[in-house]
Amino acid sequence: MNEALAKATNLKEVLDKKRPMNLNTLHSLQKDYILRSTYHSNAIEGNTLTLNETKAILEDGITIGGGKSLREHLEVINHRDAILYMESITNNQISERDIRYLHAIILRGIHESAGSYRNDEVLIQGASQKVTPSYLIKEHMSDLLDWYETSIAHAENPIVRAAMLHSKFVNMHPFLDGMDALGA
């Protein structure tokens, strides 16, 4: 086990020893996770809202002026809603329907392709890795979900399993560029 994985595994063990946590602590941790995850995921995709502006939108419902677009506001709200949806279905299983629905939430009010696999071929700029051809996406998604179910049955480390799922999903690139539901 590499050093980062060992550290994460140890931190998880420390966290597990503190369970059950009181509801105020859980709510505080969830709020912080939603804020930071939303900010960083959107920033990677080019959203110009600051961490404090993201917080104001999420916690106070404030609209940010100064040239911030409606799209940037929707990206914040939609990302939060996608996290809440993922939390509501957490049971170590994920379906193709869940993935498409997450994509629909992420792009709600932003793009007409919300919830639909891409029909066009794309390249990842600067990468030598080729993505799945559009006509194979549905088949590869089925294979990915089969792999995921098998990895659970073999009790693979959940951190490794999550990283591998993310990598396989991003390399497949099933949605339009910049719009992957399970990634940034």
Would you say residue 124 has pLDDT above 80? no
Residues 39-71 pLDDT 10s: 999 999 899 999 999 999 999 999 999 999 999
DSSP class of residue 46 equals T
- For residues 154-165, average pLDDT: 83
- For residues 119-126, average pLDDT: 83
Residue 176 confidence (pLDDT): 83
Residue 1 confidence (pLDDT): 62
Question: Among the options 73, 79, 103, 173, which is catalytic?
Answer: 173
pTM of the model: 0.85
In the annotation, is 73 catalytic? no
SS3 state at 115: coil
Residue 182 confidence (pLDDT): 40
pLDDT class for 181, splitting at 50, 70, 90?
A: very low
- For residues 112-140, average pLDDT: 90
**How is the chain split into domains, by residue range?**
19-90, 117-184
Residue 184 confidence (pLDDT): 35
Rounded distance between C-alpha atoms, residue 174 and residue 6, angstroms: 32
pLDDT class for 128, splitting at 50, 70, 90?
A: confident
- For residues 115-141, average pLDDT: 90
